[in-house]
Each structure stands twice: as structure tokens, then as C-alpha cells.
Amino acid sequence: MSADIKPWSARSYRRLLVDTQIPDWDPGFLVNYDPVRVADEVVATGAQAVMVYFQSHVGVCNWPAVTGAQHKAFQGRDMVSETLAAMKARHIPVCAYYSVNFNNWAYLEHPDWRIDSLTKGSMGILPRARYGLCCMNNQDYRAFVHAQVLEFLDAYDMDAVFFDMMWWPAVCGCASCRERYQLERGAAIPDTIEWLDPVWCMFQKTREDWITDFIVELRDLVQEKKPRLQVYHNFALGMANWTRGISFRSARGHDFLGGDFYGGQTEQLVISRLMLNLSEQTPVEFMTTVGANLIEHVGLKDEQELALQNFAAVASSSAFLMIAAFDPDGRLNPAVPQRIRAVYDQTAPYEPFLGGQPVEDIAIYFSDDSKMNFADNGMPLSDAVASSGPDYPHFHAVAGACRALQAAHMPFGVITKKQLGVLSRYPVVVLANVLRMTAEEAAAFRDYVRNGGRLYASRWTSLTDSAGRRHNDFMLAEVFGCHYMGEETGRVVYLDPIDPDLRIAIAPQEMLSHWRDARQMSGALRLRRGTGKTLATLTLPYGYPSKGSVGGKDWASIHSSPPWEHVDAPTIVENTFGKGRAMYAAADLECRATGANRTLFVTLMRRLLDQPPRFSSDTHPAVWMTAFDQPDRRQTIASFLNYQAELPGLPIGSVPFELRPPQGETFGAVKQLPGEETLAVARSKDGAVSGMLTDLGVFAMIVAEWGSTGEWDT
């Protein structure tokens, strides 16, 4: 490949995968697969690149493999070679698909390669019993995977390689896992979950390290053979709970991040921002099905639903990959290419304007070590359910913070340990109920505030370290300006604002309630005063902490638990530390989706930011606003997505906006894209431009050109 040609990922924002997870025990399966027709269908969708199955979860190969079994429908021919030739003739780059630990053929042929699950299995709506799961710690299985990958690398010329299912489908207790753990850690696999036990925490870290090592190993295997190829692995479970073992550290084994997602608006909001800052390269990739979900073969998503998901990717300067599925005979429903083309025709005009650095005044910290739940402590491993869902307290707090800031149209991003060395670039950092934290992280946040940063933290943040040690006080107590005393044990407590701004924020409510949920461990913490200023205090219900009973006289209202006893203990604290400021909340108030909670959280963010945000809009909360600085083009791009939950969405008549240039720059002309019509804007003395978009149907994009200093002063 010529050095002046961009890598595969940078040449395509519209991508396609036609699912070929079809077995070979029926002679009618894939009998009508025609590489030329398939290539024509890819062109018809408007996709710029395609992912082709070299093998699948079924485990049989679609090329005449020496290292394994070939799909019976293709015996006597080379489907991969024919498909690659048809795509090349149409100038469609190809990414090779290979399924790793889901391999039915290997599972059946080599019983000793199988996962030995120590946990209960769950794959959501997927039929788990159909999947043959192999253990990635089995060295014979790893050698088999290596051999197959090297075989297709020798035989074919592709543009990228995608490895699927690079995560633990269960906590495995096979002989290979036990032997490796004994060799590396000198211990047996623990049989009880205990996040306050260094032994358990080390085991979980080891599981994550094993996956990361294999991810990096496969990337290196490919690129040692063909250095130009981009390699990535399915990052779909990057936010899943601890059972899947996918750490953010594993991102270093991807040239860029991508994965298939089905969790709706909130998932796309969080994962898109996360991948932008975690990926080694951009654009990142958001995949999803054209069908209603993975198990729905004939039902198609509504065109507007697909378009909204695609535009959400465009708004985050990300690529979008649609997953369609062949019928068992190898043909594709003709309506599928039409549905895909209808969506891609809407988003394609905006692609030339994508890229740049996301504008992020507020950084929400996603803790790799907090993808767990203290409520699991003491649970036998055999009772745990290996789940793909991000159902843990830290995620709910992160997601709640993202939703609140999106609805308020404030610039935010999601960061990880990767950004610890550059925290100073963010005016505000949010630590949303970070359950476990390393000393390195605590030191970085302490220095960030000391040097002028603004920090918000909630609930368990900095109380427990990642090795499983619970501290007597917050590791960041001097930053928070308050001290830990214990956990509230009653059903509900109340945060009673005494600061005027906070009282106004939640009016006409007088207090915020915070309910304890045994599963999510969402009880607030009891605090002792420190150097910080108290913004809200604690109020308890009558008879606290009793739940009440028929014969008891320890409740005041039969259905609810109204506030009664005011306690001189802080629940929200503001503190000056060094050159910076911090706010700490005893409850993760950002987690709850009530109007008062969101308004209070946004009020705290504005108070910490203490300067006008880089962009803002006083419009409907369903509108997603994003912006990217593009220094190489001397411009800032801003996008507006009308992402309503109920479809069809209603147009929004007017969307006012305000946009500020990067430090040291001014804005020149402001134009609406893709037609580049000049927008009328007002200019303020501080360099901001403000204007109005009319009739926002689904999506709009504007560009603000950077002018010479003083050129546009008024």
C-alpha cells in the first residue's frame, strides 16, 4: 500500500457487516451465496467498507483451511478469495472477521479446550446453549488460533482484521486457568467474591491482564506478518461488569476502538464519549444491527431509529457499521440494502467535516477498577451471574452525569486513567461514585485541584483502594474538606440545601431524597465536618433507621418516610484546596433521573466551571450538542442532534446556540453545513458568537471559522 494512502479506518465512515453465522449441516445452507451479488449489494448500501467473515462462532472456515474445517457449502472453491476479488473490483476495502473464544467446531473437536464455568452464565437474549466456548488460557487452543490467523494472513490480502468475542464468557476454572494462576500468583482461584480482600482483587486483575495480553498478542501476531494492517477487537463489553474481564488497559491492543452495541441512547451517549478519549487512533467505530436486535432476523429497525443512531456517531466524529444478516441460504432480504442506503444517504454529506479534538469543559472519569459492586461481597462464585450489562453503581453514576450534562447542553467528555497526566486540560473533573481508586489516581486528582483544577466527587470516591483495602477516611479528605464517619443504614435520607443557589436549584422542592438500594449500595455516607463549607445538611425521617411495622410507633406516614429530624452533619461540601476547588456529595445525586437531581447537579457543575462554557444552547433536552476543534483547518464544528426517545420525532422550531473559540482565537464566518450557507450571528466582546437554527428536524451541523485576532471584534 502506498504511504500516501490513509489507513482503512480513516477512509471509511460508512461500513457494513453481513452476518454469516450459519452452520453447514444442511446442504441448503449458503447454497445461494454469490460473491459478485454480495459485492453489488454492498455498493448498493452506500457503504465505503465491508467486514467479511473468514470464520464465525460456528468455527468452520470460509476458506479451504488446512488448520481446521472448511464450510461444506464452499468445499471445492474459495469463498474468501472470490469475495475479496469482487470487493476489490468495486474498490471496497475489506476487514477480515475472526471469532476467537466462541468456536463451536473447536469446542466439539477438542473437549479439553472448553471453558469450565465457575459462574452462572448469561448472554441476555442470546441462546447461550448454542455457543461452544473455548478457554483462551489453553495453550493448545491459543496455538490453534495463531495457526489459523497466520494461514489466512499468508493466503489473502485484506485491509484490516477484526477479532470478535475477546472477553471472558464466565469465570473459568479449567485446568489451564488453575495452572496458570498457580504459576503466576502462587495461589488457588478464590471461590468467594470479596472486594475488600486483596486476594480476590488480585485474581480479578489477573483475569483482566490475561485478556489484555491475548489482545495485544493477536494484534502483534498480525502486524509482525503484515505491518500495514489495522487490527481491532470487539470493545462491545468495554463497559460490562467485572465478570467479562475487559479492562480499559486492553485498548492499547487495538489500533482503534469499535464494537457492537444494543443498549439504547444512554449506552451510545457514554460509550461514544469514552471511546473518543480511550482509543489509540480515531475515528472510533459504533456498530449496531439493521434488525431490531441480534436475535430478530426478519424485523428491521425503523429508518429514523437507524438514522438517529448513525447521526449520533456523526456527532461524535465516529464511523458507523451496520450489521445485516444473510438468510440461511446465503441471500439477503432486498429491503436491507435499501434501508441501509436510505440512512447512509442522510449522513454521507457531513463526513468531509468530521474529525478534530472534542470540546470538553467537563471530564467525567470512568474508573476501570469500579466496574463492580460491594453488594456482592461474600457471594460464592458459583452464585454469581456472568453478565454483559453495565449494572454496577459507578456506571449508573457516570451515565447519570452524562445524561444531565447532555440535557443541559454543556460540553463534556468521558476520560480514564489514560488522561491522568493531562487533567489540567479540563476545567472540571467529575468523580461519580468511584468505588475503588489507586494511590496513583488519588495523587493525580489531589495535584489537579492543588494546581487550580475544579473537582466534583460523590459517595464512595477514594474510600477504598483498588487492592481491596477500605480506608478509615477518604484518600482525598483534605481535598473534599470533610471526613468519612460511616454509611447510612436506613431506607431514605434527605439532603437539605442551606446554600441559596442550591435551594433555588431544586425549588419548589425543599430537599432531595436519597434511597438506599441493597443491590446498588446507594445509601449515602455520614460525614464529619472539615475545612470545607457546608452547602447542604442531613435530615432523617421519623424513627430512622427503622423501616417501621404495623405495631411499631417509629414511622410518621404509612406510605412514605417524610423528613423529620435535622442533623448537624454535611451532605454537600465545597472546599478550597491549593489554587483549586472541590465539591463532595455524600450521595451520588447525579445518579437519579429526577428533575431536581439533574438541576442540582448541573448547578454544581456551573458553579465549579465558574466561566462561560465553550458552547451552550437553551433548547429542548432531547437535543445532543457536540463540538470539535480542528486546528489544521482553523475551524470549530458543532453538531445538533434531535434525539427524541419516542418516534417519529417532532421537529424543533428554533435552536439558539452560543459558541466560544479556543483560547487565543477568534471566530470569523459561521456557516451551516453541508451547503456552507452563512449564518447570521451576534458577536460578544469575549469572542463568543450566538445564533439560531430553525426547524431542526433530525440533525444540523455548523462550522465557525477561526479568524485573525481582532478581525471580528465589535
Q: What is the pLDDT of residue 713?
A: 43
Fold category of 8-356 in CATH:
TIM Barrel (3.20.20)
Q: Please name which of 63, 66, 50 lies closest in space to residue 15, comparing C-alpha atoms.
A: 50
Confidence of residue 516 (pLDDT cuts 50, 70, 90): confident
CA distances from 127 to 59, 121, 122, 435, 708 (A): 17, 11, 9, 33, 60
Confidence check: pLDDT of 125 > 90 = no
Q: Is the omega angle on the peptide bond into residue 64 within 30 degrees of 0, that is, cis?
A: no
Residue range 515-532: average pLDDT?
83
The percent of residues in the chain predicted with pLDDT above 90, rounded, is 91
- Cis amide bond preceding 508, omega within 30: yes
Q: How far apart are CA 452 and CA 456, in angstroms?
A: 13
Contacts of 339 (CB under 8 A, 6+ apart): 290, 300, 301, 303, 306
> Quick one: pLDDT band at residue 523, thresholds 50, 70, 90?
confident
pLDDT in tens, 148-192: 999 999 999 999 999 999 999 999 999 999 999 999 999 999 999
Q: What is the pLDDT of residues 482-510, one digit of tens each?
A: 999 999 999 999 999 999 999 999 999 99
Strand segments, DSSP code E, in 578-698 are 580-585, 615-616, 623-630, 635-642, 652-659, 666-673, 677-678, 682-683, 689-696
Q: Are 584 and 457 in contact (CB under 8 A)?
A: yes
Nine cell digits for residue 529: 465536618
Q: Which three cell numbers stand for residue 571?
A: 451532605
Residue listed under C-alpha cell 447525579: 590
Please indicate whether the domains covering 8-356 and 615-707 agree at the CATH topology level. Answer: no
pLDDT digits (tens, 9 = 90+) for 255-267: 999 999 998 999 9
Residue 124 has pLDDT above 80, yes or no: no
pLDDT value at position 349?
A: 98
Domain at 615-707, CATH homologous superfamily: Golgi alpha-mannosidase II (2.60.40.1180)
- Give me the residue label for grid cell 482461584: 189
Average the pLDDT over 206-219 and give the result: 98
- Which CATH number does 362-609 carry? 3.40.50.880
Q: For residue range 2-61, what is the model confidence (pLDDT) as tens digits?
A: 444 778 888 899 999 999 999 999 999 999 999 999 999 999 999 999 999 999 999 999
DSSP 8-state class, residue 21: -
Domain boundaries, the chain: 8-356, 362-609, 615-707
Residues 6+ apart with CB under 8 A from 602: 404, 405, 408, 410
Q: Which residue has the cell 454535611?
A: 570
Can you tell me the mean pLDDT for 67-80?
A: 96
Average pLDDT over residues 685-703: 95
Whole-number Å distance between alpha carbons of 360 and 605: 13
> What confidence tens digit (pLDDT) does each residue in 557-597 have?
999 999 999 999 999 999 999 999 999 999 999 999 899 99
Q: Rounded to an integer, what distance in angstroms lies between the CA atom of residue 466 and that of residue 683? A: 49
Predicted TM-score of the model (pTM): 0.96
Tally of residues, the chain = 714
Rounded to whole angstroms, how far apart are CA atoms 644 and 264?
12
Provide, rounded to the nearest whole percent, the portion of the chain with pLDDT above 70: 98
C-beta separation of 140 from 109 below 8 A: no
pLDDT digits (tens, 9 = 90+) for 651-665: 999 999 999 999 999
Q: What are phi and psi of 504, to 5 degrees?
A: -65, -40
C-alpha torsion 329→331→336→338, nearest 10: -160
Task: Look at residue 714 and tell me whether its pLDDT is greater than 70.
Answer: no
> Any idea of the CA torsion for 56, 57, 60, 61, to the nearest 10 degrees?
20
Per-residue pLDDT of 188-207, as tens digits, reads 999 999 999 999 999 999 99
Instruction: Give the Cα separation of 233 and 42 in Å (integer).
Output: 23
Can you tell me whether residue 546 is helix, strand or coil? coil
Q: What are the Cα distances from residue 683, in Å, to 419, 640, 660, 667? A: 34, 20, 10, 9
Helices (H), 102-258: 104-109, 139-155, 175-185, 198-225
